[in-house]
Amino acid sequence: MCGDIVRKKSFKRGNFSGVYRILIVVPLLISFLFLGAIGGAAQSDENIAEQYAPILYFEQGETCYPVDVSYHIDNSYLYQFTGDEPLLIDESPSDLNLSAYVTGDYYLDNMLGTTDDENIIQDYQNKLSTLGYRVYCHIHQSGGTTVVQYWMFYAFNKGELNQHEGDWEMVQVVLSGGTPTDVMYSQHHGGQRATWDQVERDGDHVKVYVARGSHANYLRSYSGKFGVASDIVGANGKILESGDYTLELLESQDWLSFAGRWGEFDSYDDVFRGKVGPQGPMYRENGVMWNSPIDWGNGLSPADNNIFLFEWFFYNIVIIFLILTAVSISLIVFRIYRRHKKHGLGPRIVSMFYIDGFNIKSIGNILCIVGIIIAVFGLFNLWYVVSININVEDFETAGAVDMISIDGIDGVKINLLDPSSGPVQLGSLSIPFSLFIGLGLVFLVLATIGISSSKKLGRKYITRGIKLLIPVIIILAVIMALGMIPFGSVADGNADATVEEILGSISSAPFGGQKTIPVYESGVSGQISFQWGLGLGGQLLLVAAIILLVAGIMEIIAKTSFFKEKTSDKSKKLKPKKSPEESLETPNEEAEEIKLPKPIDSEEQKKE
């Protein structure tokens, strides 16, 4: 439980008499008083650590939680990294033995598995009920500022972009004059800082949202989508409150001064690929996190409430879009119902199905249907790609390898090239663009129901064609902007090309092209080829958009009515009958046509 601070104390009692007893007991009493003061200060540190102990929120797919480092030590061999074959130092390292290794060329290799399998995770899961949960704390004092650090050790790191044995992450609370002012969360080799008011918390317990697998710490449950790590964060899994884990002071740990790595370390290339275990708390980020936590925290990116809103929107973008889609469909259905009641929907219902012979109207509708089919195929193919093909003496790729790819399913992916394992994802923006565009095509079909005029139909075709062009235009605009970014040279010395030149070539021909760079350096020769351009999906979207625009123009030119709208019911109503009074005042037409006899004026006329 929180507050179970582990301490090792032992005292020996002796039998004394006379002056010798006095000479010994008095110093001991003074020592006890001194130790009591130290113990009181330590207890104060413990109280501070307990007061601000974090609440850890995990994503539902998480497999590893904060654990006692003894799990890792007990299952590991101690090796020394030599650059070639590793040197086995100890098959049963202990906490005390590890403290003697204060250089970074040692590492603890968990023998239960490797970085390329999940054996360590499976073993940890099998023992989770007995292992429990543990968080380590460290109090750093600097003048009137107190930094309370919480260190979490995980048995295995299975992130989206990196995978290694052992993992150390940290959260720190900064107190000024005893009042909390700032909080810093570690995220891989960086992190984020926030003011106390920006942090979600329960009382004084800050809430920490732990990324699945990588264990990077975030301020919000909807963060992590942006950045190079592509972390998956959520508050839908296990929650560890301060009373659910044991809180232990790091100063009491015998292994604390171990400077080696807490995980397998096969090569320096593994560091680049994120496959090497990290160093412990005292040595993370060259010791800055431990020795100068304020400086480390001030170097982190500050939290921004506007960015939180932006992250929330993109985290929930699919749900938001589906809600808006449901509302839009409801409105469309309501309009179709009103159209049906007022004017009718015509014999073919969907107006793009009015195809009857070789005429402009029919050709326009045929083109629209063809454009929709082409657009659907475009949604499931690559939109844009930048690939590289390396052919040098020491390394060759098996053909072109995608370095940047954009499609409608996975969004944007940026990869780095790993000579041993191929492309390694550096970052991504996973937005299902195809879902948005696909539903837009559905809206187009629904919107054409019951339209009687080809002119109105043509306008809808043109509108949808323009919307299909938007993603292609955005992609090309971003590619064209790459040439304005100064990146510096690819290599020093005799490099024959610079990054500016490569990006300049790409930006000057955004629709597609290629460039070959000869390599002559350190006795190594060969060439590197770059290829870029619209993928099949991007080309199909572009073609579909043009076809819809042409179809719309043809429908407008046709100026045709697909069917005769029915007459409104109001126009069919009979005129109201006139009242008897109105009938007397205004004689009807028949009465006006009756001729009355002339009056008889003379006797002769009377006789007649």
Strands 301-302 and 401-407: unpaired
Q: Which of 74, 47, 105, 69 is nearest to 252 (CA)?
A: 69
Of 558, 581, 596, which closes a domain? 558
> Do 437 and 345 share a structural domain?
yes
- 295-304: b (≥16 Cβ within 10 Å) or e: ebbeebeebe
The answer to whether position 29 is within a domain reads no
The answer to whether position 576 is within a domain reads no
> 205 with 240: CB under 8 angstroms?
no
Q: Which of 117, 118, 134, 116 is nearest to 126 (CA)?
A: 118
pLDDT per position as a tens digit, 474-496: 999 988 887 776 554 444 444 44
CB atoms closer than 10 angstroms to residue 253: 19
Q: Which of 430, 231, 223 is nearest to 308 (CA)?
A: 223
pLDDT per position as a tens digit, 34-64: 334 434 444 477 889 999 999 999 999 999 9
> First-to-last CA distance in the chain?
137
487 CB-side CA count, 13 A: 16
> Do 395 and 248 share a structural domain?
no
The answer to whether position 188 is within a domain reads yes
> 132 with 34: CB under 8 angstroms?
no
> Do 346 and 268 share a structural domain?
no
Contacts of 135 by beta carbon, 8 Å cutoff, 6+ apart: 53, 54, 66, 150, 151, 152, 245, 246, 247, 248
> Do 371 and 280 share a structural domain?
no
Which amino acid is it at 183?
V
The answer to whether position 59 is within a domain reads yes
pLDDT at res. 571: 47
**CA 492/CA 270 separation, integer angstroms:** 23
E strand or H helix that includes residue 518 = strand 512-521
Joined together, the tokens standing for residue 429 give 């923006």
pLDDT at res. 429: 66
**CA 5/CA 303 separation, integer angstroms:** 33
The answer to whether position 40 is within a domain reads no
> Do 187 and 90 share a structural domain?
yes
> 81 with 109: CB under 8 angstroms?
no
**CA 429/CA 474 separation, integer angstroms:** 15
- Residues in a beta bridge with 427: 414
HEC letters along 304-350? CHHHHHHHHHHHCHHHHHHHHHHHHHHHHHHHHHHHHHHCCCCCCCE
Instruction: Report the interhelical angle of 433-447 vs 454-481 (nearest 10°).
Output: 160
The answer to whether position 592 is within a domain reads no
**CA 534/CA 381 separation, integer angstroms:** 11
pTM: 0.70
> Do 300 and 439 share a structural domain?
no
The answer to whether position 37 is within a domain reads no
pLDDT at res. 10: 34
**CA 375/CA 366 separation, integer angstroms:** 14
> 238 with 65: CB under 8 angstroms?
yes
> 523 with 336: CB under 8 angstroms?
no
List the domain range (segments joined by +) for residue 147: 45-304
How deeply is 100 buried, as exposed, middle or buried, from its count of CB atoms within 10 A (0-12, 13-18, 19+)? exposed
Strands 179-187 and 190-195: antiparallel
CA angle 340, 346, 352 (to 5 degrees): 110
HEC letters along 547-601? HHHHHHHHHHHHCCECCCCCCCHHHHCCCCCCCHHHHHHCCCHHHHHCCCCCCCC
pLDDT at res. 43: 47
> Do 407 and 453 share a structural domain?
yes
> Do 231 and 155 share a structural domain?
yes
How deeply is 265 buried, as exposed, middle or buried, from its count of CB atoms within 10 A (0-12, 13-18, 19+)? buried
DSSP letter at 449 equals: B
> Do 352 and 240 share a structural domain?
no
- Residues in a beta bridge with 422: 418
Q: Structurally, how many domains does the chain consist of?
A: 2
> Do 375 and 269 share a structural domain?
no
> Do 518 and 375 share a structural domain?
yes
> Do 388 and 293 share a structural domain?
no
pLDDT at res. 2: 45
Of 304, 323, 352, which closes a domain? 304
Which segments of the chain have a pLDDT < 50? 1-43, 420-421, 488-497, 571, 574, 583-586, 588-594, 596, 606-608
Which amino acid is it at 329?
I
pLDDT at res. 47: 87
The answer to whether position 94 is within a domain reads yes
